[in-house]
């Protein structure tokens, strides 16, 4: 409705509606006809209204009479949402979403207020390069989040700018994992300290379970359970190094995995623990050295077979799994031996590096301790080394997540926030992708940070990214540069119903002009693909699960624009 029509309506309401309400009030309250009241009595009533002595009911009538004309300027009733009801979130709706928290994950700013949430829900952040995801999300959260964190840190920027604060101010234990460095924190999922923990905790767990279900312990149940836990670690690790494949390569990968599993179980049995480094060195050994001089082997292969047969396959003290894998290898055709040894060694190429071997030889921390004491570990790697060290990185990330997702958290446990910045560069991480659907019970959640959806779909496939979209509760949308990403985001928000009024003028036979109007309803995207591709710097949209059609128009929370946060980050010349 145009301002012209609203003004005319205002005048009509003022001249007709206001007097009608006033006179009707007099009639109902004082039970007299308005025309029976003299002018000076109306004036006296006016003065009593001003000094507050008038009847309360009459005061309400006069307020209504005065306000009535202004209804002409009230917003027109929104068209029915038959084509969509998307709209931008109001302050009331944002409060209903629970985003005005004092602590938690920082999302952005709404006016002068910082938007935070404190649940264990994962989120997906999409931002073109250089659009502020690091300065407006990653660094602010590293400076303020009080729980434990696992941080993907390509280029060492996050370590350089935030690690000192988390260590010195937040009083957390802080580690840096860098498989390319001799100074890295060391991690070994098969370390003797980890095996010893299993041996120490399993007896009580088994006894408690038997007591819970009122049953007797089975013969050797404790020893068998310990062995099962050890084999679970080896099995998870072997499938990370040798993922399932299809086609002609599946046979070789499967046999390579068998050799690794055999060696792992064998060396754990002998030494109480082992490492990938030790297995790699054993794989490269001259097996003839394990036997006396009287044993004269015609080839390294013959010594290798003798070692497997005598030390593992026929040794009944060795766990059954290792013996089964040994027999499988012994039954391999002679012409395939070279290929299966190669299949076992190829994925371990990175472990030929001294830095990687030392990094995985022993163990300096236990990820489950991060639940008891707030701690942060940075996975720092230079861009040029990401592909070279893909297997060690995958082992570190996935094995630690598997450990966290193996036992539900208690009320007192700390949360663990996985800040997966540029996670697509680390290759396929299947356990990481499963956290949004499973992690809430374990107090583990992930911030997935990508440049665009097209990259994610290329690596994981559309089905997996659709699942990720559905299981992440929050979406942060920075300016976009990819049309595919923009279209997906626009579609997920949906349409609103747009009302258009068209007027037609026509002349009658008598020369008079008649006007007719019609109203049409149509669907229009609340945020179109073009809107998202042409966002201005400093714009941010936040989407929340169950409120997807009500995006929040927010501002990025740049750390360098906040005086307190800016002081917490070292200057470039001091790094």
pLDDT at 398 over 60: yes
User: What pLDDT, on a 0 to 100 scale, did the predictor assign at position 80?
Assistant: 58
Secondary structure letter of residue 312 according to DSSP = I
Strand partners, 392: none
The whole-chain average pLDDT of the chain stands at: 90
Torsion angle, CA of 558/564/565/569, rounded to 10 degrees?
Answer: 130
Q: Which helix (H) or strand (E) holds 335?
A: none
Q: What is the mean pLDDT of residues 26-54?
A: 77
CATH 3.40.50.300 segments of the chain = 91-185+365-574
Q: What is the mean pLDDT of residues 300-325?
A: 91
User: What pLDDT, on a 0 to 100 scale, did the predictor assign at position 501?
Assistant: 66
Strands (E), 366-460: 375-381, 416-421, 444-450
Burial 124-150 (b: 16+ CB within 10 A, else e): bbbbbeebbbbbbbbbbbbbbbebbbb
User: What pLDDT, on a 0 to 100 scale, did the predictor assign at position 154?
Assistant: 93
User: What pLDDT, on a 0 to 100 scale, did the predictor assign at position 31?
Assistant: 76
Q: Please state, as a whole number, how many other Cβ atoms lie within 10 Å of the Cβ of residue 391.
A: 20
Residue 356 CA to residue 350 CA, distance in Å, equals 7
Size of the chain, expressed as the number of residues it contains = 575
Read off the pLDDT of residues 91-141 as tens digits, 9 standing for 90 and up. Answer: 999 999 999 999 999 999 999 999 999 999 999 999 988 888 999 999 999
Let me know: does 449 contact 125? Beta carbons within 8 Å. yes
pLDDT at 283 over 90: no
User: What pLDDT, on a 0 to 100 scale, did the predictor assign at position 268?
Assistant: 97
pLDDT at 1 over 70: no
Q: What is the mean pLDDT of residues 433-448?
A: 94
pLDDT at 287 over 70: yes
* φ/ψ of residue 321, rounded to 5: -55, -45
At 284, is the pLDDT very low, low, confident or very high (cuts 50, 70, 90)?
confident
Let me know: does 478 contact 128? Beta carbons within 8 Å. yes
Let me know: does 394 contact 429? Beta carbons within 8 Å. yes
At 77, is the pLDDT very low, low, confident or very high (cuts 50, 70, 90)?
low
User: What pLDDT, on a 0 to 100 scale, did the predictor assign at position 62?
Assistant: 83
Q: What is the mean pLDDT of residues 350-366?
A: 95
pLDDT at 82 over 70: no
- The listed range with the strongest mean pLDDT (14-28, 49-63, 268-282, 487-501) is 268-282
Q: Which helix (H) or strand (E) holds 534?
A: none
Q: Which of 66-70, 403-407, 564-568 has the lowest mean pLDDT?
A: 66-70
| CA distance between the termini of the chain | 61
User: What pLDDT, on a 0 to 100 scale, did the predictor assign at position 381?
Assistant: 96
CATH, range 91-185+365-574: 3.40.50.300
Q: Which of 75-79, 235-239, 511-515, 561-565 has the lowest mean pLDDT?
A: 75-79
Read off the pLDDT of residues 484-542 as tens digits, 9 standing for 90 and up. Answer: 889 989 999 988 877 666 666 666 666 666 666 666 777 788 999 999 999 998 999 99
Burial (0-12, 13-18, 19+ Cβ within 10 Å), 216: exposed
At 564, is the pLDDT very low, low, confident or very high (cuts 50, 70, 90)?
very high
């Amino acid at each position: 409705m145009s301002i012209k029509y609203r003004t005319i309506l205002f005048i009509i309401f003022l001249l007709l509606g206001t007097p009608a309400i006033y006179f009707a009030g007099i009639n109902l309250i004082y039970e007299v006809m308005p025309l029976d009241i003299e002018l000076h009595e109306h004036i006296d009533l006016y003065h009593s209204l001003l000094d507050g002595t008038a009847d309360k009911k009459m005061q309400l009538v006069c307020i209504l009479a005065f306000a009535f004309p202004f209804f002409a300027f009230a917003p027109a009733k929104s068209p029915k949402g038959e084509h969509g009801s998307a709209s931008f979130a109001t302050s009331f709706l944002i409060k209903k979403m629970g985003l005005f928290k004092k602590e938690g994950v920082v999302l952005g700013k709404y006016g002068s207020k910082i938007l935070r949430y404190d649940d264990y829900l994962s989120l997906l952040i999409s931002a073109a390069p250089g659009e502020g995801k690091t300065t407006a999300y990653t660094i602010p959260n590293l400076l303020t989040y009080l729980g434990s964190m696992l941080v993907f840190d390509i280029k060492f920027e996050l370590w350089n700018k935030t690690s000192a604060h988390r260590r010195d101010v937040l009083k957390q234990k802080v580690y840096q994992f860098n498989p390319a460095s001799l100074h890295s924190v060391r991690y070994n999922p098969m370390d003797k300290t980890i095996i010893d923990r299993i041996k120490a905790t399993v007896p009580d767990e088994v006894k408690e379970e038997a007591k819970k279900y009122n049953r007797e312990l089975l013969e050797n149940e404790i020893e068998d359970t310990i062995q099962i836990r050890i084999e679970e670690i080896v099995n998870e690790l072997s499938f990370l190094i040798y993922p399932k494949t299809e086609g002609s390569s599946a046979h070789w990968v499967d046999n390579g995995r068998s050799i690794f599993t055999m060696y792992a179980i064998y060396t754990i049995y002998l030494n109480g623990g082992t490492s990938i480094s030790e297995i790699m060195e054993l794989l490269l050994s001259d097996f003839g050295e394990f036997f006396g001089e009287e044993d004269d082997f015609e080839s390294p292969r013959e010594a290798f077979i003798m070692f497997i047969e005598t030390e593992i396959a026929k040794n009944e003290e060795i766990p059954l799994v290792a013996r089964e894998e040994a027999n499988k290898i012994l039954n391999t055709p002679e012409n395939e031996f070279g290929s299966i040894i190669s299949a076992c060694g190829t994925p371990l190429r990175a472990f030929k590096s001294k830095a990687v071997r030392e990094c995985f030889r022993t163990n300096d921390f236990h990820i489950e301790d991060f639940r008891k004491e707030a701690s942060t570990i940075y996975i720092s790697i230079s861009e040029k080394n990401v592909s070279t060290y893909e297997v060690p990185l995958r082992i570190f990330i996935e094995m630690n997540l598997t450990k966290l997702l193996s036992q539900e958290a208690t009320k007192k446990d700390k949360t663990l926030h996985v800040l997966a910045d540029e996670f697509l560069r680390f290759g396929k991480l299947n356990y990481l992708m499963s956290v949004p659907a499973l992690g809430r019970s374990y107090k583990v959640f992930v911030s997935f940070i990508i440049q665009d959806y097209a990259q994610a779909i290329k690596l994981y496939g559309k089905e997996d990214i659709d699942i990720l979209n559905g299981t992440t509760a929050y979406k942060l949308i920075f300016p976009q540069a990819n049309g595919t990403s923009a279209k997906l985001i626009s579609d997920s928000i949906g349409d609103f119903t747009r009302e258009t009024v068209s007027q037609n003028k026509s002349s009658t036979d008598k020369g008079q002009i008649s006007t007719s109007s019609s109203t049409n309803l149509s669907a229009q995207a609340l945020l179109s693909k073009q809107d998202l591709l042409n966002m201005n710097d400093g714009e941010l949209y936040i989407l929340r699960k169950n409120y997807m059609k009500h995006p929040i128009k927010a501002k990025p929370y740049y750390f360098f624009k906040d005086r307190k946060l800016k002081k917490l980050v070292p200057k470039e010349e001091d790094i």
